[in-house]
Structure 1
Amino acid sequence: MKKVSNPMERAHAAPRCTATSKRSGLPCKNPAVKGWSVCRMHGARGGHSSGKANPAYKHGMRTRETQQMRKAINEHIRLARALEKLITE
């Protein structure tokens, strides 16, 4: 005969949220979202997307791509100056 199990057993056995309450200091008792260490109320699957879709996006001068490009340009400038210094000496 097939054993009928309670569907809530899986919910009760789920890993719990690791967040704690600011007010009481007690841990959250909600189940954590699959693949996350916190529940949906404490930030799992939350936040905005990156890039122009983010409401805080203003001009793009601080994006990851721009900063990497700026680092590469500065490195080329340093190498050019070092080469110029070797040639003039």
Structure 2
Amino acid sequence: MSGHARNTEAMRASPRCGARTRSGAACCAPAARGKMRCRMHGGAEGSGAPRRNRNALKHGLFTKKSRAEQRQIRDLLGEVRMLLRELE
């Protein structure tokens, strides 16, 4: 070990992150300055969900209208296959 004294009191006295780990235990990392979470759990600059909840936008593939349209196309293709079998 080196001969210099370590000053870790400030770090040990700092508030801890309030997040829970996968095992259910509390996160032991110090919270980011002015935040309630550490840098890994959302205290870092720019972390978190995007504004206006862009993650929840719908793409429209499973709307009632689109599913009805898909059903019509599937029925139409079935009829075409039956007609082709009759022509053979």
TM-score range relative to shorter protein: 0.3 to 0.5
**What TM-score comes out, normalization by structure 1 length?**
0.44
TM-score normalised by L of structure 2: 0.45
